[in-house]
Amino acid sequence: MTLRLVIECGVAETRAALIENDIVIRFWFGPARGDEEQDITPRVGRRFVGRVLSINRSLNAAFVDIGDGLDAFLTLNKTNEPHVIDGALIGVSVKSPPRQGKGAVVKYLPDVDISTDAPGRLPPFQDAAVEAVNLIGADAEIVIIDSGQASAVLKAHRSAADISYEQPTCGLFETYDAQSALEIAFDRCVSLSGGGELIIDEAQALTAIDVDSAGLTASSPTRLREKIAISAGYEAAHQISLRNIGGHIAIDFPAMSGQGARERFNEHLKKAMASIEGAGGFGFSKSGLFCFTAPHHAQSLLERFTEVSPASPLSGRKFTVDFQAKSAIRNLEQCLHASPRANLQLRLGSVLYDYMSVYEIWRQRLQEHYGARFHIVADDKIEERGFELTE
């Protein structure tokens, strides 16, 4: 088994992919290097100064503003209750990240030196590349990064690791197939090897995964059900980890007929589920659904990078403005690197252009690296969150 971590250090974002035997098994997304102090994402373990907004005695809890725009939830107890009063600034750490539009779950931190008058994240602030390694790549045998400066920082941080600097023209995510894996991780339907597919629906109460034969063939109906169930078990575990799906999960596998088939399937299923960190409570319901829970280490990719898009009769989802803006800048950056003589124009829809104007630092960093070989302009002919890159 070979475990590699690839890290892209962009002007707008740092992102990493953990790859096991050429299969992407986990992603990490963080701020651009240099922007670490502005990263207020409530990740598990991060510390914040929070302002107590209100106390709910019926819930025996307080709602706390930690600066991310959502009200964090703090359970009251005998230890923290004397310090948690309306309007007070308190120290907290994140137990569980925001989910389904609700704020993070936090715990009270005593003896925090609060030298600010506003909510916000507390130090220490790790280098983004170092944090990527610590959070998803601690066991990686090989770390590949596209920044020489970041490579030096990592070597000082992990002197025993095999750390190499690569800057391919098409980007590390493209080179190591992490970009295609990321795109698939947003798809509702995922193809299984040999045929069949998973249909993954993340809802507010749980995540439901249906298994569809969809053209998969076998020598007999019994063998078909066993074949697709085993393939689906491994791919479901892979997608759950890849997408950061947590909470209650229900999988509708094909029913196994025959004691031998059930035993073989259960053995494979046990191995597959063991790859989901912290998962437990496995079991089949009377209706045949396989149910279990997985911890919320982080927001799922769908929660973090998409939002509800009104539609009739059911709502869909669309990528957030932030996701689209960083995608546009990343495309421009990679094209500038791949084509040293090209003069490029990035045309943005109205919403995306307005959002991008707030982050002038991204443009400045590109100019420092590539000079004045590009223009970023608004184009009302493009969908408001869309972008086009032309030479």
Burial of 312 (0-12, 13-18, 19+ CB in 10 A): exposed
174 with 191, same domain: the answer is no
206 with 235, same domain: the answer is yes
Which H or E element spans position 5? strand 3-9
Taking only the tens of pLDDT, the chain with its 391 residues reads 789 999 999 999 999 999 999 999 999 999 999 999 999 999 999 999 999 999 999 999 999 999 999 999 999 999 999 999 999 999 999 999 998 889 999 999 998 888 888 999 999 999 999 999 999 999 999 999 999 999 999 999 876 679 999 999 899 999 999 999 999 999 999 999 878 899 999 998 899 999 987 665 556 667 778 888 999 999 999 999 999 999 999 999 988 888 888 899 999 999 999 999 999 999 999 888 999 999 988 899 999 999 988 877 877 899 999 999 999 999 999 999 999 999 999 999 999 999 999 999 999 999 999 999 999 999 999 999 999 999 8
Taking a C-beta distance cutoff of 8 angstroms, is the pair 317, 309 a contact?
yes
On the question of a cis peptide bond just before residue 124, with omega within 30 degrees of 0, the verdict is yes
Could you write out the DSSP letters of every residue in 242-271?
Answer: HTT--EEEEEEPPPP-SHHHHHHHHHHHHH
Residue 300 counted as domain residue: no
Dihedral angle over CA of 57, 293, 4, 135, nearest 10: 10
Amino acid at 186: F
- CATH number for the domain spanning 106: value is 2.40.50.140
290 with 193, same domain: the answer is yes
Residue 210 counted as domain residue: yes
What domain range includes position 344? Answer: 321-390
255 with 364, same domain: the answer is no
341 with 246, same domain: the answer is no
Residue 256 counted as domain residue: yes
16 with 72, same domain: the answer is no
Residue 196 counted as domain residue: yes
Could you write out the DSSP letters of every residue in 58-86?
Answer: TTTEEEEE-SSSSEEEEE--TTTTTT--T
Which pTM was predicted? 0.92
- CATH number for the domain spanning 377: value is 3.30.2320
Domain count, the chain: 4
22 with 132, same domain: the answer is yes
288 with 215, same domain: the answer is yes
Amino acid at 46: R
